[in-house]
């Protein structure tokens, strides 16, 4: 099983002899399905060449904070947003000390300060350096700050000493990285997620739909599985692979989606991320509608309302904890708050689809969550995968308090 499938990992390589293990680590991470980008310190380049890690990762290695080409697009900020995990291996005593002090004098340390992704360190140093009180204090301070420490291990070292200080092996680090994504806050819960657009037929050739790609809903399904849930994903027509361990049900129209949702009930948590068509043609032509060449008139379609899937499910006697999405182009929070109340929801997720960087078909998102008391929690723009994990963690906390 590829537990790191589609995870975005920035691998930081510090200046220690254990940097030779970083090459194998890149391979292990990619074997697990991760996409890896490498950032090297000046010291790291003395032990292993950037070309080696470029060949193994499949991407150019990032080296300098003040790279004019990268900084034109704020390269370190882009990497910080891109990452689902920053893993520094090896993490030297010097690098740990600089991170403890919040130093940002190279690309790697600046990236750590700029990211909201989890940061993990694989300490690697002489046994005396590891047990020095200063290093131990730094390790404790970093752990209290929320950074994860993988190791070190005990054993023989390059200098001939034996003791704690060896960097963990590549397969151990890959396993530890995978374990970070396995938060079991939804263990035993059945989560029903809707995703993608619906299509409402006009005739056998044409239909009404919208621009939804389904990427956010699929990312939520993947994140819910990581959180231990049993996930049913009901999706309109999209071109996306099914996340591992997800029960996927494909539908076409809004009425199809409602029927599939009702058949999947009961559930503990409903996340309605689909962009469901509000209207459908009253009459669907049996054959392709032909244009009248003698008439300059347009085509008039009579539309009728589709069933409101979210309101229907949230109004059931056995209603689940219900979370909706409000994709708006104006008055975002006002419209989202109204939808929260009108549909009897526990939470609503508002996102501005007028912004092309976070709208339909984009790879990133930025959201605001509104609860019944109209309290707001905002998540800054980042990848949809990372937003999904943040959102699932937030929802799980509220669900478990309910």
Whether the pLDDT of residue 69 is over 70: the answer is: no
Assess whether pLDDT exceeds 50 at residue 73: no
Residue 342 assigned to a binding site: no
| CATH code of 44's domain | 3.40.50.1950
Domain CATH code at residue 227: 3.40.50.10300
Q: Could you tell me if 215 and 252 lie in one domain?
A: yes
Residue 163 lies in a domain: yes
261 catalytic? Reply is: no
Same domain, 174 and 196: no
Tokens of 351: 């996102």
> Does 343 count as an annotated binding residue?
yes
**Does residue 218 share a domain with residue 144?**
no
Span 51-75, average pLDDT:
78
Taking the whole predicted model, whether its pTM rises above 0.85 is answered as no
Determine how many CB atoms are found less than 10 A away from the CB of residue 320: 21
What integer pLDDT is reported at residue 70 of this predicted model?
A: 56
Burial 331-366 (b: 16+ CB within 10 A, else e): ebbebbbebbeebebbbbbbbbbeeeebbbebebbb
pLDDT, averaged across the chain: 91
Residue 184 marked ligand-binding: no
* Catalytic residue chosen out of the listed positions 134, 159, 263, 299: 159
Distance CA 49, CA 37 (A): 15
288 assigned binding-site residue: yes
Q: Do 143 and 121 reside in the same domain of the chain?
A: yes
How far apart (Å, rounded) are the C-alpha atoms in residues 41 and 51? 14
Confidence band, pLDDT 50/70/90 cuts, at residue 75: low
pLDDT top residue among 64 and 193: 193
Measured in residues, the chain has a length of 402
- Whether 183 is in a domain gets the answer no
Domain edge (last residue) among 130, 158, 178 = 178
pLDDT of amino acid 72 = 47
pLDDT, residue 5, reads 81
Domain boundary among the residues 125, 145, 178 is at 178
Q: Are residues 202 and 306 in the same domain?
A: yes
Contact 114, 128 (CB under 8 A): no
Q: How many CB atoms lie within 10 A of CB 262?
A: 12
Residues pairing with 350 in the sheet: 326, 368
Domain of 323?
188-282+301-398
Q: Is 325 annotated as a binding residue?
A: yes
Are residue 255 and residue 130 in the same domain, yes or no? no
- Per-residue pLDDT, 292: 76
- Report the distance separating Cα 197 and Cα 212, nearest Å: 5
> 222 with 174, same domain?
no
User: Which pair of tokens denotes residue 14?
Assistant: 């510090």
In the chain, the number of structural domains is 2
- Domain end marker among 178, 204, 221: 178
Q: Is the dihedral of CA 221, 228, 114, 173 positive or negative?
A: negative
* Same domain assignment for residues 261 and 369: yes
Contact 289, 299 (CB under 8 A): yes
Whether 83 is in a domain gets the answer yes
Question: Which pLDDT score is estimated for 378?
Answer: 93
Give a yes or no: residue 296 inside a domain.
no
């Amino acid at each position: 099983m590829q537990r790191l499938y589609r995870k975005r990992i920035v691998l930081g390589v510090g200046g220690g002899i254990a940097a030779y293990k970083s090459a194998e680590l890149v391979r292990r991470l990619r074997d697990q399905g991760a996409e890896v980008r490498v950032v090297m310190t000046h010291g790291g380049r003395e032990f292993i060449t950037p070309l080696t890690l470029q060949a193994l990762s499949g991407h150019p290695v990032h080296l300098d904070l003040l790279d004019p080409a990268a900084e034109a697009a704020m390269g370190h900020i882009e990497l910080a947003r891109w990452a689902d995990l920053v893993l520094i291996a090896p993490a030297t005593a010097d690098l740990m000390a600089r991170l403890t002090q919040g130093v940002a004098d190279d690309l790697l340390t600046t990236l750590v300060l700029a990211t909201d992704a989890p940061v993990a360190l694989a300490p690697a140093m002489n046994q005396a350096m590891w047990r020095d009180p200063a290093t131990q204090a730094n390790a404790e301070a970093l752990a209290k700050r929320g950074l994860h420490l993988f190791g070190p291990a005990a054993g023989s070292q390059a200098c001939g000493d034996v003791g704690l200080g060896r960097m963990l092996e590549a397969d151990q680090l890959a396993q530890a990285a995978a374990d970070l994504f396995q938060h079991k806050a939804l263990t035993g819960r059945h989560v029903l997620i809707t995703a993608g657009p619906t299509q409402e037929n006009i005739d056998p050739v044409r239909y009404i739909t919208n621009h939804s790609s389904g990427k956010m809903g699929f990312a939520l399904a993947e994140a819910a599985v990581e959180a231990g849930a049993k996930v049913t994903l009901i999706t309109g027509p999209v071109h996306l692979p099914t996340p591992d361990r997800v029960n996927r049900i494909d539908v076409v129209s809004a009425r199809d989606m409602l029927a599939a949702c009702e058949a999947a009930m009961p559930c503990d948590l409903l996340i309605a991320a689909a962009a469901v068509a509000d209207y459908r043609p009253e009459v669907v032509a049996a054959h392709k509608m032909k244009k009248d060449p003698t008439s300059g008139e347009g085509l008039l379609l009579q539309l009728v309302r589709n069933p409101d899937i979210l309101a229907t499910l949230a109004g059931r006697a056995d209603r689940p904890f219900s979370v909706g999405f409000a994709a708006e182009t104006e008055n975002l929070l006002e419209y989202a708050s109204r939808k929260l109340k009108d549909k009897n929801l526990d939470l609503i997720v508002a996102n501005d689809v007028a912004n092309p960087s976070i709208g339909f078909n984009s790879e990133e998102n930025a959201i605001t969550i509104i609860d019944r008391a109209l309290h707001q929690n905002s998540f800054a723009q980042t990848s949809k995968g990372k937003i999904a994990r943040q959102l699932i963690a937030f929802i799980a906390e509220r669900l478990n308090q309910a």
